[in-house]
Every structure is written in structure tokens, then in C-alpha cells.
Amino acid sequence: MNAISPIISADELADALAGPRPPVLLDVRYRLGGPNGRPEYEAGHIPGAVFVDLDKELAAPPGAGGRHPLPDPEVFGAAMRRAGVRADSPVVVHDADKGWGAARAWWLLRWAGHRDVRVLDGGLGAWTGPLETGTGRRSDEGDFTPAPGALPLLTADTAAAWAREGLLLDARAGERYRGEVEPIDAVAGHIPGSVSAPTDGNLDEHGRFLPPATLRERFTALGAESDEVAVYCGSGVSAAQQAIALELAGFVPALYAGSWSEWSRDPARPVATGPLPG
């Protein structure tokens, strides 16, 4: 497990920004099915933060790999360099909602070999410092070059194996897991053998992550028995938030990035419904 915590408080961020080695700030405002977050960013963001477009810079175009396939490493690396990310620079990412967009950026950077990445706990709502307006473009180019493979990444086949032989968590809302509704993908239900674990269960009433001991109790109660736990969601975005919670709890998270949007595209793959893993 990475020695650097995956999260940072607003007070810690303020101190870091005022220190001798301020982090690169990435603003990844994203809402499932919502509009691009750039207008909100330009209306007010943490000084120095650079907007990152999840759909265009943190994902490849939708297709057989799901709604948010992993981006081409060269495309992702170019986006991070434009944002000023360097191999030796600390990075802090945030969004304005449940931490999903920020977590996607955190996971991608970690997966691509950058070790010093943290998510602002509580998102923009936790920040009490000043805001600035405008495009906020950085003038200094970064040098980060992705080296993918630093975090465990699952395919549909290995996710199915995790569901049979280990613990595969489904981070979507419970009603989607049970197959009662499916507002986005063509098929409702879940991967047979997976266990429902909605991301809302990782946060307190202020949108901050629960204490590590509380998170560990949660995942242990869901069946975590080894250090490694796998997770998926609808398209690999909210599952990254679950990956942060798992790391805080002391587990090593493996992410199925294609998630339900990839799994459900293949009619040959089995589908379970109802409250039980199936």
C-alpha cells in the first residue's frame, strides 16, 4: 500500500499551497449524466487549480470497453503535462460532488506510476479559502510520462473470477445492483457473485471519508477476508472512490475499469438480480 494517504484535508491543502513545494491542483468537476463542469470551474475555483475534463482527458470514447474506458496513456499523459503535472510534484485533485471525478484522476495517476497524489477530502465544499475565476490555465508544462500498471486492473474475466473466488464489490446504488432500475446501461442487474456496497456508505454527512477503522469494519462486514478486494461500478468512475475508501481501510483495491457498462454489453455474460450475490 502507498505510504502517502490518498486524501488531504482542506487545512492541510492550504498549508501545502503556502509551503515551499505547493502541489499541482486539478479540478475534476463531474456529475453522472450531467453537463461539462468547466462553466462551474470558471465561475469559481481554488487559486491555481486547472480544470480536467473527465470525459475527454480521463477516458477514451465510449465503446466495447464501456462508457468510460481507460484513456490512451499518451493522451492521458499529454493532458497531465498540460495541467503542469511533473513526475516529482505532489498532486491534489478535487471535485464538487461525491469525490467520483477526483477519485478517477487519483486512480489513473496512481495506476500510471505517480505516487504522490491525494484527493481533497470533502471536495470543494470543504474549502474555506479564496476562489478565483476564469480559465486558470497554467503556463508551466509538466513532464509526467505514464508508466501504466502500478495498481491492479481487472478485465471482465478476472472480475468474474474475483466474484467467484474472492470479494468483488459493486459500488453502484443498491437499486441498480438489485436490477430494480437501470437509468444508463441497457441491462439491469449485477455481476453474479458480487456484493452490493454503495459509495455513499464510505462518507459522512459532510461528504468526507469515514475514519479508516470504520471503513475497515464496513468492508470486513461485507466479506473482506484478505488484503486484496476488487471493485466495480457503472463505468469505472465511482468505483475509484471506493478504491480510496478501501486503501484508507488498509486493503489493496483492484479496479474493474470497464465495470457494468462493459460487462452488460456482452449478451453471453451472465446477469444476476435481487439483493443477494446470486
Please tell me which residue in 233, 237, 244, 255 is annotated as part of the active site: 233
Show the DSSP H helices in the chain as ranges.
Answer: 10-18, 38-43, 54-57, 73-82, 100-111, 156-165, 174-178, 212-221, 238-248, 259-263
Based on the residue annotation, tell me whether 233 is a catalytic residue of this protein. yes
Phi/psi for 104 (5° steps) reads: -60, -45
- Label the pairing between strands 228-232 and 168-170: parallel
Residue found by looking up cell 465561475 in the block: 43
Burial zone of 88 (CB within 10 Å; 0-12 exposed, 13-18 middle, 19+ buried): exposed
Give the residue among 124, 143, 107, 144 at the shortest CA–CA distance from 49. Answer: 124
**Whether the Cβ atoms of residue 151 and residue 94 lie closer than 8 Å to each other:** no
- Active-site residues, by number, are 233
